[in-house]
Structure 1
Amino acid sequence: MWTVAVTLCQITDDNLRSVLAVRTTPGQERFVSSVATSMAEAADCPEANPWFRAVYVDDKPVGFVMLSWDVEPRPPEIIGPWFLWKLLIDHQQQGRGYGREVVQEVVRLVRDQAATELLTSYAPGEGGPAGFYARLGFVPTGEVEPDGEIIARLDLHE
């Protein structure tokens, strides 16, 4: 597998339209919401301290990532302190290692903030992201969100 350089860029008026055009496959829509819905969730839940970026390769947006950034956990509504809330790679760009690289970049960023773990959640089911997260080292915690999503943890100790 080759290494790709992804860049996490702020979403601005200049790139908003192209970032909103990023889409998963129709079969993945039950596992992750659209960029527009994710940004609306961020606006509706400021107490989760949402941090989101467009994922770029060269000068093209290929995905979107959103975290709860160093929050006081208040389960089940707010998981944290470091929670990978959304990750999506455009359906035309999948299979190129971009998702893996985004998670590795997020890990670098949160480690720089002295984070010792990164949490995420995913819906179980055929075609879902469970295998992707397992390959990256995430392990289910045994906890399940009220909507049925499995909470998984990545240990960030070096």
Structure 2
Amino acid sequence: MSETATATGLRLVPVTPENFDAAVAVKVRRDQEHLVAPVMKSLAQAYVYGASAWPRLILDGDRVVGFLMAFLDVDWTQGAGATPDLRSGLWRLNIGQSEQQRGHGRFAVEEVAAEIRRRGGTRMFVSYHPGPAGPQDFYLRLGFQETGETTGGQSIAVRDLT
């Protein structure tokens, strides 16, 4: 998979042996640690889930500013005989504590949306911890709408990509 770049210098790159240490060094603010799993857990899950997981570092020039992991074509079908429900979306978003409020999160969301569109998807899902310290307002500003569903105590929202 080729890396993604913008005129601003922001780009996504795969996590490799060469940048692994920089990836696991990405830390969110202390008050956000309960809202998102650490990068190390995400990378372990990416290994276990294989092709369904899409982990990427977010770079600004050559500086690591964050990490994201998308999920692609995961089967959310509930119960026997139910209509198949394949979903794709943003699984994790970790923006470094000193890199927040600079547009890196918005960039990451838009890049995941572009990847889902590239693969033929028309909807993008995200889950997040609700509450005043959580990222709900951020996702709603980016066009997500809550579905009323929850998973693991997190609210699920969806964004139309058409």
Question: After TM superposition, is the score higher than 0.5?
Answer: yes
CA distance in 1, matches of 2:39, 2:140: 24
More strand by share: 2
**SS in structure 2 of the partner of residue 115 of structure 1:** coil
Candidates 137, 151, 155, aligned match of 2:160: 155
Note the residue ranges of structure 2 that are not aligned, 5 or more in a row.
1-6, 79-84
CA distance in 2, matches of 1:80, 1:31: 25
> Percent sequence identity over matched residues?
37
Residues 32 and 86 in structure 1, CA contact (< 8 A), matched pair in contact too: yes
RMSD over equivalenced CA pairs, Å: 1.9
Residues 49 and 69 in structure 1, CA contact (< 8 A), matched pair in contact too: yes
CA distance in 2, matches of 1:60, 1:140: 33
Relative contact order higher in (CA < 8 Å, ≥ 6 apart): 1
- Cα gap change, 1:150/1:80 in structure 2, threshold over 3 Å: closer, same or farther? farther
Q: Note the alpha carbon deviations across 1:47-94, whole angstroms, 9 max, x for none.
A: x7111111111001111111111233245xxx8521210011000000
Residues 116 and 155 in structure 1, CA contact (< 8 A), matched pair in contact too: yes
The aligned residue for residue 76 of structure 2 is 73
My pick for the range that moved more, 106-115 or 132-141, is: 106-115
**SS in structure 2 of the partner of residue 71 of structure 1:** strand
Residues 73 and 80 in structure 1, CA contact (< 8 A), matched pair in contact too: yes
Q: State the 1:45 CA deviation.
A: 3.4
The aligned residue for residue 43 of structure 1 is 47
CA distance in 2, matches of 1:62, 1:51: 17
CA distance in 2, matches of 1:37, 1:156: 28
CA distance in 2, matches of 1:91, 1:117: 29
Candidates 74, 82, 106, aligned match of 1:100: 106
The aligned residue for residue 25 of structure 1 is 29
CA distance in 2, matches of 1:86, 1:80: 18
Q: State the 1:135 CA deviation.
A: 0.6
CA distance in 1, matches of 2:73, 2:33: 27
Residues 90 and 125 in structure 2, CA contact (< 8 A), matched pair in contact too: yes
Q: State the 1:20 CA deviation.
A: 1.0
CA distance in 1, matches of 2:66, 2:25: 9
In the superposition, the TM-score normalised over structure 1's length comes to 0.88
In the superposition, the TM-score normalised over structure 2's length comes to 0.86
Q: State the 1:40 CA deviation.
A: 1.5
Note the residue ranges of structure 1 that are not aligned, 5 or more in a row.
none
